[in-house]
Amino acid sequence: MAFVAADAIRARFSGAMSEMYRLEVPQYGALLELVDDVNHAVLAADPALAEAMRRNGEIARLASERHGAIRLGTASELALMRRAFAVMGMYPVGYYDLAAAGVPVHSTAFRPIDPAALQANPFRVFTSLLRLELIEDPRLRAEASAILDARRIVTPGALALIGQAERDGGLDEAAATDFVAELLETFRWHAEATVSPETYGHLHDAHRLIADVVSFKGPHINHLTPRTLDIDAVQAAMPARGILPKESIEGPPRRRCPVLLRQTSFKALDERIIFPSASGEPVPGRHSARFGEVEQRGAALTRKGRALYDRLLASARNGDDRFAELPDDWSALRERGLAFFRYSGRPVAQVDLAAAVGAGDLSADPIVYEDFLPVSAAGIFRSNLGEEARGAYGAQANRAAFEAALGAPALDEILLYEAMEKRSLIAVTR
């Protein structure tokens, strides 16, 4: 039996998701057009960047690159989505504690991990699990738990195809087509709430994100994110395209040598929903959760570089902006071991590596950061939920509980970048 490659299934699903979201949220289509225009302008103005991206296969992936986000309610939902994403060659990478920033979830990112798979299609889904224990009212917590336990977030057809892929080792053409269509239903928007207006109000008062997770049939996709090469240009151009951006860009400041991840978004839609009622007459209401986001990805930092960034971020939040300590120069970042690089060129002696790069015999291109930043993710969530900045929930990160719910460990992203750099070094050193 001929199986469809996981990369191909992922590409089909990403494309289908993007088309569905474009129809559901027309402003997302306008954002895609703006990002495409900015990217073309950046590449035309910077031939060196264009050449480096061609050398590493990033030009081809740029136009189709997306990440999405969903919010789940129970451990069983998280474990089920891990199985569904595995069919598409996507695995949990990283653990993010957002409760510390005032959002009652913890998260991982499902994404491809092999360099060839990332080049084929780097689709990611930032996946959050509601921390029910952070709902202070015990009666509301019990009610929310009962509501979530009663729902089923994938269709029977999708569940059967996940099992088939696990049993047979893959899906053939017909099954892969059905799988994409069936799984897409999990992420579709449904305007019909599953709770009463009164319950919704109680959940909303506890936290707007809690109301979004608990009150609907499933974990509708709450945003999709194209990748830009100049997020400042996109932010500035949004209003002229009829798009209202959030007030500021999340992540590191603008740099000549971008690092990690910068994100911005347009404001969440205020959407009409329908509540059920005891009388049987639908009750109209409003809900705000879905938005559009854009990202600019820079270089992945080493553990040493990330420790420096995190220290500078903490001091910047306290009014001491010292990001200048993080070199804004590729050579300095490489020589000080602060960022990861991919090496290419004709083989050289390992002892002459630095000299070979300096002489131009080898190219050293920064490895793209494929992951996320918890402070930035929380900032995006709060901005689009209409929440004022609030203190932490006072709970400690609970990676062990998250991974127990997941049914697998969340991979260490730094180890993945280390392996990428090492493979490239082996290929070019004698």
Q: Check residue 356 and give its pLDDT.
A: 83
Query: Residue 290's pLDDT is what?
Result: 81
* Structural domains of the chain, with CATH: 6-296+372-411 (3.10.180.80)
| The predicted structure's pLDDT at residue 84 | 98
What's the confidence (pLDDT) of residue 139?
A: 94
Q: What is the pLDDT of residue 392?
A: 55
What does the pLDDT read at residue 186?
Answer: 96
- Provide the pLDDT for residue 388: 47
pLDDT at 386 (0 to 100): 55
DSSP string for residues in 209-256: HHHHHHSSSS----EEEEB-S-HHHHHHHTGGGT--B-SS-BSSPP-S
The CA distances from residue 285 to 193, 272, 273, 275, 282, in Å, are 9, 6, 5, 7, 10
Counting as low any pLDDT under 50, the low residues of the chain are: 388-389
The span from the CA of 237 to the CA of 404, in Å, is 44
Question: What pLDDT does 258 receive?
Answer: 95
Query: Which has the closest alpha carbon to 28: 72, 62, 66, 61?
Result: 66
Place of tokens 């001929």: 2
